[in-house]
Every structure is written in C-alpha cells, then in structure tokens.
A and B are shown apart, each in its own frame.
Chain A
C-alpha cells in the first residue's frame, strides 16, 4: 500500500475531518462573542492630566492604603522612587517632557503628567487569560480584582494585558501579581480609592461610570482659558477649586480603546506621548480570543465529533491489524 499525498489527504478527510475542521473553521459570526458591556453600577476614575501637578500624593496614598513597600531606584533608601509600575507599586505618576518644557499640557516645548495604574477594562484581557479565575471582574461595579489564593503564578495576565499593568513579583519565593484593585477594601468600608482621596487638585476623581461620563462631557465643552470649577475626590464632594480650562486633545482615553475602560483619561497632549498604546481596536482582545475558543470548543461539540471519528477510525484499524505485538501475533491472519 502506498501513501500518495492525494491518498493521504483523502484518508485524512475521512478519519480526521472533524479534527481538521476544528482548526480551520473561521469564527462564525453567529458564535462570535461580543465585547462585554459596562456594568450598570460601574464605578471608576477620571484622571485629568491637565489638573495634575505631579505631587505624587496619590502614589503615597496608594502605598499606605495597600501596605506596599517603598521602592528605591536611586540608591538612597530614603524615598519611594518607583519609575514604573512594579511588584511593589500599583500606581505611578510619570512625566512627558519636550524641548524647553515651558508649556504645561503642550506637546511642543511642553510637559504633561500621566498616572499609570490598572484601567479596569470593561472586557479585560487578564480575566479572559487567567486559567484559574484569580483575575475577576466584579459583575456589579466592574472592578477587576485579583485573588492570590487562586493564582498559580503563570503570568499569562502579565503578558496579555494591552496596557502592561499586572506586575509579577520576581524577587520572592511566594510571588503575587501586583495590580490596582481600586482599593476594594476601602470601597467595602464606604470609602473611595486612596489615590482619589489624596489628590489635592481633583486630577484623580472617583465616581460612577455614568457620572464620570457626564463630567468628561462637561470638561470637553469648556472653553480653553476660561475659569471653571473642578471638584476634588468625587464629583459631588462640594470641594471645588477654580482653574482656567485647558485645551484637551480630541480623545478620551478609555472611552473605546480595546473595548473601553472604567478608568478614563483626559489630556492636553496626545496619548502616544504619554506612553499609552494608541490605535487599539474597539473590539476587545478578550472577545477575539474567546470567540476563537468558543468556535472550536464550544459545548465540546467539535471535539466530540472529532473524537467519535478518530475512535471509529482507530477501531477499524485495530480490526485489520492488531497493534499489540506481544500476543504472539495471534491476530495476524
């Protein structure tokens, strides 16, 4: 018996058609998983770069509230000086600088601040990637939480996050994933996240997703240069300060990026200058990945069909030539 390619392919079509189909079927629209939606009682943060003065009170408040150790990057062991998110740092203020740095919130010869932290995606890649439900999105308020007691430390979330947020601890035998959980322990006590609590200018503002959307619309409608009131901590705190409105770029970061986020950003300089990935699709990567998985393995239908075909083929094979040599070839007629 010879095995030509045509023969091989024909037999393959018979024996493993379903298995092959598993892999070749393009995701069908009918089974496509849509982006998850913003939960009804979603909460989040608005970070307005034009209000931020770079005082880093939020960073200090975050370390305090979450019992995080100091991080020393300049060798003085005196200050907390993280430069990036890390296993010890859930949030960090970074700065964009250009030329003379004369103009705040301008790309040319200017500077601007950016607060890095978990964006609490509407449809998070980390939650979709996590094999053991350690990363979860709370259905009620949409906070993306992490449970170290479930985590196996595979770091798929670290790799998958489009914003580079989850940080693994490489310097300990009992590592955890470090990531902002919107101070869920403070929320449970009726408090607001520590960073918003500490912010002296209201650059980091806590609120419901809906209320923050209204606040974003209000700020975008402001005339640049005209004085306006800006609330601190929460929108209805009543603690306002007056400031000339800045000129915002026409992009509310997190409105649609990668399916949207519950932490959103306003800025006077384009977001690619603030080291946030721009040009992300509106469809979430989690939806892409899970659509593929559901198409191939949904209800174990395709694998079931494939297995039936394979077992039948193997059974037919076992009739024509017995595979166990150790029975003295009794089945070899």
Chain B
C-alpha cells in the first residue's frame, strides 16, 4: 500500500498529547513503487536522447513556442501545486492560527518535493544547462530580468524548505543540539518561507508582461502578478483538501476530525476566489478588453471555461451546508485546481500568439518525461516517509492497514 500524506492521521494529535514523529517503515519495493520505477526509466531513456541529440529530438517546442510542458507544467504549474506548504504556513504561523498546525507538516512535505523537483527539472529544459549557475552569479546575473527573480526566489525557497524540514533529518542523525539551536531561529525561515513564494509565484505571472502584444488581451495585464499569486495561494489550499481526501479514501479512514478545518479552508478559498474574479473581470472592463471574451474563437472558449471553473467553487462554497460536506469541498477544490491549471496553460500557451505558422502540442516522449518527473516526486515522498520521521508516530498502524 502506498503511503500518501495522511492529514487525517495527523489530525488525531489534536485530541491527544503530541509524541513525536516516526519513520513509518515498511517495504520500499511494492508493485506501485516498481511501476513508478518503470515510468522513471522510460523518462530516463528519453532524457538520454535529449542530452545526446538536443531538445528537438524529444520535444515539440519550436522557435514560435520555445516553452512547452517542461516549463509550463514542470515549473509554472507544479510549483503552484506545491503551494500547500506556503498556504498552510501563511494561516498557521503568520496569521497565527494554531488550529491548522496538523495540516502543515504533510503540506510542507509535498511542497518540499514539488519545489525540489521543479527546480531540478529546469535543468532538463535549459539548452545550456552547464551554465545554469550563471543565474546566481553576480558576474552574469541581470536583476532587471523577471526570470532572474523567479530563479533566485525558487532556489532560495528550496533551501528554506529543506531547512524548515531539517528537524526530521537532524533527529535521525542524532544531532539534537543543532536541532534545538535551529528551532530557536526557525521563525526567520518561516518568514522567508512565506515571502519567497509570494515573490516568485507572482513573478511567474510577471514573466509574461514583456511578451507584450504576443499575449492575448484576455490574459495580458499589469495585474498578472497579483492574479498568479491569488490563484497560487488558492491552489495551495485546494491541494490540502485534495490530499486529505485522498488519504481518507486510500486508508478507509473517517475524515470527521479534520472536516471542520477543511471546511474553513474552503471558506478561505471562496474569499480569495471572489477577490480574484472581481479583480480579473474588473481589470478586463477597465482595459476595455471584456468584449474579446466573446469574439476571439478558441481563446474566448478557453477563457469562459476558466471563468466557469473559478465561479463553480464560489457558488458551492458560499453555502455553509456545502462546506460541511466533503464531497462538495472536494468538487470545489478540484474545480479550483483545474481552473488554475488552465489559467496557467492559457496564459503561457493558448493566449500566446507569436505569428502565423507556429503551433505547439507536446510530443508523447515530452509528456512521458514530465510524467517521469512526477513519478520521481511520488517515489521520493514514499521513501522519505518510510525512512525518516516525517509523519506522526501513530501513522504506523494506519500505514499497515
């Protein structure tokens, strides 16, 4: 059985004294992990081709669409999915809502792997990857570049995530003193751990500002950073709901104890989404671009689907009765996530028109590499929770079920 993050399990700690985390143990070789291994091997095969023959041997990217799924999915969307740790840290530590604490650790773990892999997979996509360090070197760095800001913030955030997480390692290595000292200054890293995603998640939107007219007016706006930030935070909260549900379903557990927390998260999502929709549509009206929502063919259709996917969660979550029902919360979260994924795909690819004659749809090998990256992430998570004290001590029983 696969061990996913188990927020419901963690939530039990609310009712009993805390008694530490533990490695949950168990076999590393299961049919599921072997399947992941196969997916990773397939990805490695195509990656070898990429590194021997060049990006064109594996991907469909071209000089009209120089960024494909390896950028838009592996970095722009995957780091959005990995915003659970950011969103939960924001409410738990910054807004000081201790009640959410049980949901932080699992969310942070998913963020850790989401971001680490997102950062590493950039190397696959960089044409001249051996120069990657230039972006962090004062000799080469160009601070006016949005890409520079994104790269620095993501790199720093990966480091901060590992520091935030290091108590689990330090305990394993028997470095209790180091751990105690680190805990005393942890609030600094928590602050950084909220600032850095705020900066780079918004900047993922800013990346498109310099594209100018090449991005359709339904998406091109100086408010791109704000719109990307709001959806990233919502993605973080929605992922927490999704994770909790998957764990409850996967382990046939009663989700009752954490439902109140999840329903409050649902309310937060609703609030942010209302703000998002008001800002997005208000901006379209102010810029006089609202009309293009109905006159731009495929782009209009995609825009309207996006709006529907964002509006649905607001409608569902506005009713308190719905927020108390897991099925409705989940439906709202899924709709929100799909909307946010579509928003990013639309902004980077659908809205991007670089001139006649160009088109892009990812090749099968290109998508298999992306799937392989996701497989690495899941496998690393499984190994991690089995070998290191990540999940609360009680989860051992649950994992064995």
Contacts and interface: CB of A to CB of B under 8 A. Distances in A.
A1 B99 contact: yes
B355 A164 contact: yes
A182 interface: no
Interface of A: 1-5, 8-9, 11-12, 15-16, 19, 22-24, 26-27, 84-87, 125, 128-134, 148-156, 158-160, 162, 164, 167-176, 258, 275, 277, 279-281, 285-286, 288-290, 292-293, 296-297, 303, 306-307, 310-318, 320-321, 323-329, 332
Nearest to B194: A310
B95 interface: yes
A320 B51 CA distance: 52
B53 interface: yes
A9 B91 CA distance: 11
Interface stretch (B13-21, B303-311, B329-337, B364-372): B13-21
Interface of B: 13, 17-21, 51-57, 59, 61-64, 66-67, 90-99, 101, 104, 125-129, 131-132, 134-135, 140-142, 144-149, 151, 167, 171, 179-180, 183, 186-188, 190-192, 194-195, 198-199, 202, 206-207, 209-214, 222, 225-226, 229, 264, 267-268, 270-271, 352, 354-357, 389, 392
A172 B207 CA distance: 27
A168 to B, nearest CB: 6
A285 B53 contact: no
A182 to B, nearest CB: 20
Given A3-B268, A153-B127, A158-B63, A313 B93 contact: yes
A323 B101 contact: yes
Given A173-B52, A310-B195, 6 more contacts: A130-B145, A152-B128, A154-B125, A311-B192, A327-B183, A329-B18
Contact of A174 (B66, B128, B171): B128
Contacts of B210: 125, 128-129, 160, 285-286, 288-289
A168 B125 CA distance: 12
Contacts of B180: 327
A148 B128 CA distance: 9
B149 A297 contact: yes
Nearest to B199: A303
A326 B167 contact: yes
Contacts of B149: 293, 297
Nearest to B226: A23
Given A129-B147, A313-B93, A22 B135 contact: no
B135 A293 contact: no
Contact of B54 (A158, A171, A303): A171
A325 B101 CA distance: 10
Nearest to A2: B264
Contact of A131 (B95, B147, B192): B147
Closest 7 CB pairs of A and B: A153-B127, A170-B56, A311-B191, A153-B128, A155-B66, A310-B191, A285-B212
Contacts of A130: 142, 145, 147
B96 A152 contact: no
Nearest to B90: A16
Nearest to A133: B142
Contacts of A332: 18
Most interface-central of A11, A130, A326 (chain B CB within 10 A): A326
B365 to A, nearest CB: 14
A172 to B, nearest CB: 5
Contact of A5 (B98, B198, B209, B267): B267
13 contacts: A3-B264, A15-B96, A128-B144, A152-B134, A153-B128, A153-B131, A155-B66, A173-B51, A175-B55, A292-B222, A296-B202, A306-B198, A323-B190
